[in-house]
Amino acid sequence: MDKVLFSIITATYNVKGQDIEATKESLLTQGTNNFEWIIIDGSTNEQSLSQICHSIQGIPIRTTLLAERDEGIFDAFNKGIKLAKGEWIAFLGCGDIYYENILMRIEDKLRTIYDYDILYGITDIIRENGAHYWFSRSEEYLIEGEMMHHSACFVRRSAYEQIGGFDCSYISASDLDALIRLYQRGKKFYFLNMIITAFHVGGISTKGRLPYEEKMKIMKKYGYISKKEQVKYVIKAIINKAKNVFC
């Protein structure tokens, strides 16, 4: 396969037809063919695999499908990184979309900026009630346990390879762990002032106590939070979560 600029990785599990179709249709509106789409399907559901095969059949996008059981979403991400041919890697959830011509606009931007390792933009987060809010965080927030959303983040493949990919011991917050490791290695971040993607709330990282517990564990691991501060962090996280739900 010829080299491409972007590798877009989608991890799937028990796919719904309308979700994979929405993601595919958004990729068809990017105004460039300088990317590949890598789908890692970890389900054992034959209907799920059939939905994916039907959706990608005959599309004018360089597409790779790997269907095998995995140990969770970050294991799937690591498999995608190993298959990737692109210089820049991004993760797009099944059912989430890129806005029209976003990859073309980023491709154009890369002609004028150099020496950056992580590009990130704005995520249009869609709540379960249909409400929208725009979200982004700069790299300075990583030490507070907050991060730019991974669906609006493009990381050099070489940078992921240098840190060994994602730590699969984390179920929901390994993306935070990976970005902190990149940050601590002095990798350079660049903010793309554009709305990159629409993300639907509902994944493992947006539900229950586990995301908060893992974030605290990561923060403590890198010396960013004391035991006393952990309690404050949990309270703050719960309050912020409540604001996002009821605003």
CATH number at residue 58: 3.90.550.10
Residue 33 lies in a domain: yes
Residue 213 lies in a domain: no
Residue 209 has pLDDT above 80, yes or no: no
Residue 83 has pLDDT above 90, yes or no: yes
Distance CA 196, CA 135 (A): 11
Q: Answer yes or no: are the C-beta atoms of 163 and 89 closer than 8 Å.
A: no
Give the DSSP H or E segment for 214.
Answer: helix 210-221
Residue 95 lies in a domain: yes
Confidence (pLDDT) at 92: 97
Q: Answer yes or no: are the C-beta atoms of 56 and 8 closer than 8 Å.
A: no
Residue 228 lies in a domain: no
- Find the mean pLDDT for residues 5-10: 97
Confidence (pLDDT) at 247: 47
Q: Which domain holds residue 23?
A: 1-112
Return all residues near 180 (Cβ < 8 A) that are at least 6 apart. 142, 143, 218, 222
Q: How many domains does the chain have?
A: 1
Distance CA 120, CA 214 (A): 23
Residue 132 lies in a domain: no
Residue 70 has pLDDT above 70, yes or no: yes
Beta strands in the chain (DSSP E): 6-12, 35-41, 62-67, 88-91, 97-98, 118-126, 132-135, 153-156, 189-200
Residue 245 has pLDDT above 60, yes or no: no
> ∠116-61-21 over CA atoms, to 5°?
100
Q: pLDDT band at residue 85, thresholds of 50, 70 and 90?
A: very high
Say which residue, 238 or 125, is predicted with more confidence.
125
What average pLDDT does the chain have? 89
Residue 127 lies in a domain: no
Residue 145 lies in a domain: no
Task: Count CB-CB contacts under 10 A for residue 114.
Answer: 8
Q: What are 146-197's pLDDT values in tens digits?
A: 899 989 999 999 999 999 999 999 999 999 999 999 999 999 999 999 999 9
Residue 108 lies in a domain: yes
Q: What are 29-56's pLDDT values in tens digits?
A: 999 999 999 999 998 788 889 999 999 9
